[in-house]
Amino acid sequence: MRELRDRPDEADDGGRAERDGPGAGAVRERSEVRSRSEYAADAELAVGLEVVRRFDARRAGLTEVSTRDAAAYLDVRQAERPWLAAARDRSPEVQRLFAALDQGGGHGHIRHEGWVTEEMSRRRVAYLEDPAQLDPAKRAAAIDGLLPGDQRHRCGSLATRIVNPDAFAVAFARGAEHSDVRGALDAEIRKSRVPSPVVLPIASLLGPHGHRYCTGWQLEAVEGSVKTARERRDASADVTVRQVETFDGGTVIFAFGPNRARSGYEIVSMYVNPPDGA
Amino acid sequence: MNEAYWAKNPNGPFATLIAVAATYCHPEAYDGADADLVDRARSPEPDDEEIRLFKTELREALADPARLPDDELFKAVDYGDGSDERFLRRLWRDLYGDEPTAGA
């Protein structure tokens, strides 16, 4: 699919067609026969929600939030923080995780989760339009929505997301229990030192069919090189993008940084990558 | 199960360079990562062996970028400089200014 900067944006369906919710009463926009792997993915997810129930926000470098306070937090903040809408009709445990995440310094739930639509994701990688930027003019101007001082938004050669909030919560909670992630989160805070990212197979967090909850867009190579495409995109040249074909065999990346108080580390981003060559 | 290059190849070529660059230079890095890396590189703590090894490996990579493991640097960092060499040169300049890359 080729996209040019001066082409009118395609109609945005709000990403509703991509949102699935096992046990959450979500309604599909269109009728279709669900595949065996979709059922399997949902079944694996239902089992995975147990890890969300036992999620310890403090051990993830976040503020602990009760399920009651989480519901209230989502109610009060959703208008100014629209990415919280994805969690509103989810279980109390998933809401608790999202509320805790939102009070930390990370942005994974803001840029790499299902409230971001396919169109927003495509425009992020193509034009550096930040989903977190709520001012339309600033978003079109590639101004980052989370950094101070009208800084330019940064995006790599991919923009990806986990489209289902339950799947996002399971991946985060399960990842937070992984020994390498725990090693990073439990490390003694040292001045300017930060643990390196941890890269885990999607299947290890969401089951063998969990890749079905992942979508993304990537830069098409220019003169045979994605590096060249990335360089040109950053220089505001027109580039073409294409949808990632599959996340089967892909990975989840956990990136770390100091928490706001610089008293410990937290997961500042969690995002998915397709397998090499996808 | 950690599939990061540096986790799978702790003694592999330029593992420390790639790990540190991935931590601080990737677009998903935290706000303030740039400044922290500059601070860490220019004022290393006495026990920060990792940043010392990082500098050594950065020198070696600049001397011969062809020795970098195939595409691992870009996979880890997703830089916008167009090539490993341009990214590494910018990194050296940002961290060490005019200090010669061929050091002691």
pLDDT surpasses 60 at A14: no
Chain B CB contacts of A234 below 8 Å: 80
pLDDT average, residue stretch A82-93: 93
Assess A234–B contact: CB distance below 8 Å, yes or no: yes
The pLDDT-based confidence of B22 (bands split at 50, 70, 90) is: very high
Asked whether the beta carbons of residue B30 and residue A255 sit closer than 8 angstroms, the reply is: yes
In the sheet where A198-201 sits, what is the strand order?
A198-201, A251-258, A265-273
Instruction: Count chain A–chain B contacts defined by CB atoms under 8 A.
Output: 97
Cβ of B28 within 8 Å of Cβ of A234? The answer is no
| Residue in chain B lying closest to A277 (CA) | B75
Which residues in chain B have Cβ-Cβ distances shorter than 8 Å to A218? none
| Rounded Cα distance, A127 and A124, in Å | 6
Per-residue model confidence (pLDDT) at position A33: 63
Q: How many CB atoms lie within 10 A of CB A209?
A: 21
Here the tokens at position A27 are 């309604």
Q: How crowded is the C-beta side of B47, counted as CA atoms within 13 Å?
A: 3
Q: Report d(CA A127, CA A140) in Å as an integer.
A: 8
The reply to whether residue A196 touches residue B78, judged by beta carbons under 8 angstroms, is no
Q: Does A204 touch chain B (CB under 8 A)?
A: yes
Tell me the ipTM for this assembly: 0.96
pLDDT at A19: 41
Are A268 and B29 a contacting pair at CB < 8 A? yes
Report the pLDDT value the prediction gives residue A115, as an integer from 0 to 100.
86
Q: Domain limits of chain A?
A: 36-273
Q: Does A224 touch chain B (CB under 8 A)?
A: no
Give the model confidence (pLDDT) of A178-234 as tens digits: 999 999 999 999 999 999 999 999 999 999 999 999 999 999 999 999 999 999 999
Nearest CB among A180, A225, A230 relative to B2 is that of: A180
Band (pLDDT 50/70/90 cuts) for residue B103 is low
Chain B, residues 40-79, CB within 8 A of chain A, namely: 40, 45, 48, 50, 74-75, 78-79
Of A200, A204, A228, the CB nearest to B82: A228
CA distances from B78 to A53, B10, B18, B75 (A): 35, 21, 11, 6
Interface test with A, best of B5, B17, B28 (most A CBs within 10 A): B28
Q: Does A227 touch chain B (CB under 8 A)?
A: yes
* DSSP-H helix ranges across chain A: 36-53, 67-77, 92-102, 108-111, 118-127, 136-140, 165-177, 179-185, 202-206, 226-234
pTM: 0.90
Residues on chain A touching B29 (C-beta within 8 angstroms): 255, 257, 268
